[in-house]
Amino acid sequence: MKFKISVPCICLLAAGMFHASGISADDVASKGQEAWLKSIHESWLEEDKEFKNSPTSPLAGVSRFEISEVESAHFSIRDGQLGWSPEKTAQPVFSLMSMEDGWKWTGQEDVSVKRGDESTQPGSLLATGDKLKAGRFTVSFYPSADKITALVFDPDTQRIKEFRTLDRFEANPNFVVTAEIVKFESPEQLDLVTGLQRFKKQYRYARLQFEIDGAPLELTAYKYALEGDGSGYFFIPFTDKTTGKQTYGGGRYLFADEPAQGDKVELDFNLVINPLCSYAAIYNCIVPTRENKLPIAVTAGVKKYDYRH
């Protein structure tokens, strides 16, 4: 039997890690900085808690499996690692079966699968984002037409044990701006290149025009979907003059809720995050496009992650 342990690979959209401060640029100016600074620190604290305590913390990511061209995949734990084989072992921890309409799962009695807050029964088809719990491991599934991707998380990593807080620039109200939304007449769905030299589809939705220290700037906002899940926020991948120096060389991400009405949106660069692939090689992250290269140093938000800490 060939027991497969994946070589960790690269970034899923990180909108789940984004916590809006709830304080606008006008609020900072009119109400003073104290309330804004408190909201920023609360957002940072929540982000740090997720990194430390979430079963799918980016620091817990250990393996990426892309399973295709097999009828079944049987997962077992060997030498403290979770791996899979197309051949059934004596007692696999859990198994995946390829069906015409997707992938079904079965497992030992202590294995469970959650879809949001709801449990799914053995024999059910897996859906995007389903999370399987097997011992200390959590596995997130992403089925597609020709394969299923499984991301394995282990909370027993040294990075989790040593983690205290993400390294960030000092909060700076100069990087809270009001941007004008200039929507494209017909949003085009593009294939954006990823760190694994693959493609992820995003809609090129709008130009966001703003100023920082009197300099006119512009970023393109993307959307995962135009309606339904993923349609309510802007995804803004970008680089700036800190990229590859104080910040991650693969770029930076900013998320912002699309306003229900009007043509203005608040951008708080103090909430900029790293692509998840900067923390674990299991992710496959979108690379910022050339049009989103800012000619200034955005000294706000999360700095690059130091693997030594």
pLDDT tens-place string over residues 11-32: 333 655 555 555 556 666 555 7
The model's pLDDT over 91-130, given as tens digits with 9 standing for 90+, comes to 899 999 999 999 999 999 999 999 999 999 999 999 999 9
Q: Is the pLDDT of residue 247 over 60?
A: yes
* Furthest-apart CA atoms within the chain: distance in Å: 68
The model's pLDDT over 253-273, given as tens digits with 9 standing for 90+, comes to 999 999 999 999 999 999 999
Q: Is the pLDDT of residue 5 over 80?
A: no
pLDDT at 33: 82
User: What are the helix and strand counts (H, E) for the chain?
Assistant: 3, 16
pLDDT at 93: 96
Rounded to two decimals, the pTM is 0.88
Phi/psi at 224 (5° precision): -70, -35
pLDDT at 97: 96
Q: Which helix (H) or strand (E) holds 51?
A: helix 33-53
pLDDT at 230: 83
Q: Is the pLDDT of residue 252 over 60?
A: yes
| Strand, helix or coil for residue 294 | coil
Alpha-carbon distance of 55 to 133, in angstroms, equals: 9
The proportion of the chain whose per-residue pLDDT surpasses 90, expressed as a percent, equals: 82
pLDDT at 196: 82
pLDDT at 286: 96
Instruction: Count other Cβ atoms within 10 Å, centred on residue 101.
Output: 6
- Cα torsion 48, 170, 39, 285 to 10°: value is -50
Q: What is the mean pLDDT of residues 206-220?
A: 97
Q: Is the pLDDT of residue 291 over 90?
A: yes
pLDDT at 19: 53
Alpha-carbon distance of 131 to 113, in angstroms, equals: 5
- Which residues have CB under 8 Å from 87's CB, separation 6+? 1, 2, 74
pLDDT at 9: 34
Which of 19-23, 32-36, 60-64, 228-232 shows the lowest per-residue confidence on average (mean pLDDT)? 19-23
Cα→Cα distances 102→71, 86, 115, Å: 11, 17, 16
Angle CA(53)–CA(279)–CA(65) in degrees, nearest 5? Answer: 90
Q: What token pair was written down for 250?
A: 């693969």
224 versus 18: the higher-pLDDT residue is 224
pLDDT at 181: 98
Report the chain's mean pLDDT, rounded to a whole number: 90
pLDDT at 89: 73
